[in-house]
């Protein structure tokens, strides 16, 4: 199988970096433009190349992917929300309105690193918010939630080329429904916060959408389109994203926890979400929405 190495940076000469990569095959393709530096080269792949990229790309502030040369442009975009499409963890920010951000954030971090059971960690954190007035949800969304750079362009460009986009989160539909509209997603899946009409009860609707449910969403969405998992690109940062990232044809780790990054061959750490388009072979001139 022929593989393609894609390098993306805001500042470094990734063409030179690609030339120096071990296992290079054929000529270099420079797709730079609009202040972005993008280079591609066919490669043999293998552990030596991955180790070399892990050593060289941080200094160059370059993101990278090693992908099969065939079926590069995916027909389904499925993405985590918190700390991926948006820059925040909504539950942590909501906890701030209850004066509990530090305590809740510590549990979130451990869960995302795979150190805690996701469902248990979720129910524990939500229980801590019992009695929080519902107005805090709107304040949290309005004051705190912001899209990460490149989110709209990623969704809009893939949709312009016929792809479906689905936001899937272990967070809550109150936020995913709003973020989906902000970014242009076709659909969203998430958990439900239970309330009594005035405050949160401290309970979560069942069943809880976690790691297995994210994988199920990927498989159901591709099947509904008459596709396979190989036709999907999945993005995420935490341990509960791992199964869908592993299964998708292109699994992308975005500012990911070490347990996630170690399992991927496509990583965004230095540029923005548009890199997921360049990993699929899109050119700068094809990007919709900047």
Residue ranges of domains in the chain = 1-70, 73-88+147-290
Burial 49-83 (b: 16+ CB within 10 A, else e): beebbeebbeebebbbbbbeeeebebbbbbbbbbb
Share of the chain above pLDDT 90, in %: 91
What are the catalytic residues?
Answer: 80, 82
Taking the CB of residue 42, how many other CB atoms lie within 10 A of it? 17
Class of the domain covering 1-70: alpha beta
* pLDDT tens-digit readout, 130-159: 999 999 999 999 999 999 999 999 999 999
Q: Report pTM.
A: 0.95
* pLDDT tens-digit readout, 26-58: 888 988 888 899 999 999 988 999 999 999 999
How far is residue 199's CA from residue 134's CA, in Å, rounded to a whole number?
Answer: 5
Looking at the domain 73-88+147-290, which fold is it? Rossmann fold (3.40.50)
Report residue 136 CA to chain centroid gap.
26
Enter the tokens of residue 15: 């063409």
Phi then psi for residue 265, to 5 deg, are: -125, 30
* Contact present, 5 and 278 (Cβ < 8 Å): no
How far is residue 70's CA from residue 98's CA, in Å, rounded to a whole number?
Answer: 50
Q: Which of 266, 274, 286 is nearest to 6 (CA)?
A: 266
Q: Which residues pair with 204 in a beta bridge?
A: 193
The per-residue pLDDT of the chain, averaged, comes to: 95
How far is residue 100's CA from residue 140's CA, in Å, rounded to a whole number?
Answer: 14
Cβ-defined contacts of 218-221 (< 8 Å, 24+): 218/76, 218/78, 218/168, 218/244, 218/247, 218/248, 219/247, 221/76, 221/78, 221/164, 221/166
pLDDT for residue 290? 64
């Amino acid at each position: 199988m022929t593989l393609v190495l894609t390098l993306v940076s805001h500042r470094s000469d990734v063409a030179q970096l690609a030339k120096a990569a071990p296992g290079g095959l054929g000529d270099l393709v420079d797709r730079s433009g609009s202040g972005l530096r993008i280079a591609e080269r066919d490669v043999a792949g293998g552990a030596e190349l991955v180790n070399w990229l892990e050593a060289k790309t941080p200094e160059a502030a370059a993101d990278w992917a090693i992908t099969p040369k065939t079926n590069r442009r995916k027909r389904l975009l499925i993405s985590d929300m918190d700390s991926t499409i948006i820059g925040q963890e909504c539950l942590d920010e909501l906890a701030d309105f209850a004066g509990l951000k530090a305590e809740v954030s510590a549990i979130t971090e451990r869960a995302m690193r795979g150190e805690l059971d996701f469902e248990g960690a979720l129910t524990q954190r939500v229980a801590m918010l019992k009695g929080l007035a519902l107005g805090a949800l709107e304040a949290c969304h309005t004051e705190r939630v912001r899209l990460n750079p490149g989110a709209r362009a990623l969704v809009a460009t893939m949709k312009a080329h016929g792809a479906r986009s689905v936001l899937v989160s272990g967070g809550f539909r109150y936020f995913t429904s709003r973020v989906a509209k902000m970014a242009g997603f076709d659909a969203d899946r998430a958990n439900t916060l239970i309330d009594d009409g005035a405050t949160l009860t401290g309970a979560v609707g069942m069943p809880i959408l976690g790691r297995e449910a994210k994988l199920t969403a990927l498989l159901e969405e591709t099947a509904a389109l008459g596709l396979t998992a190989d036709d999907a690109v999945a993005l995420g940062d935490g341990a509960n994203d791992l199964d869908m990232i592993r299964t998708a044809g292109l699994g992308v780790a975005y500012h990911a926890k070490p347990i996630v990054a170690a399992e991927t061959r496509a990583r965004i750490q230095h540029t923005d979400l548009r890199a997921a388009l360049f990993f699929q072979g899109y050119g700068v001139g094809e990007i919709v929405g900047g």
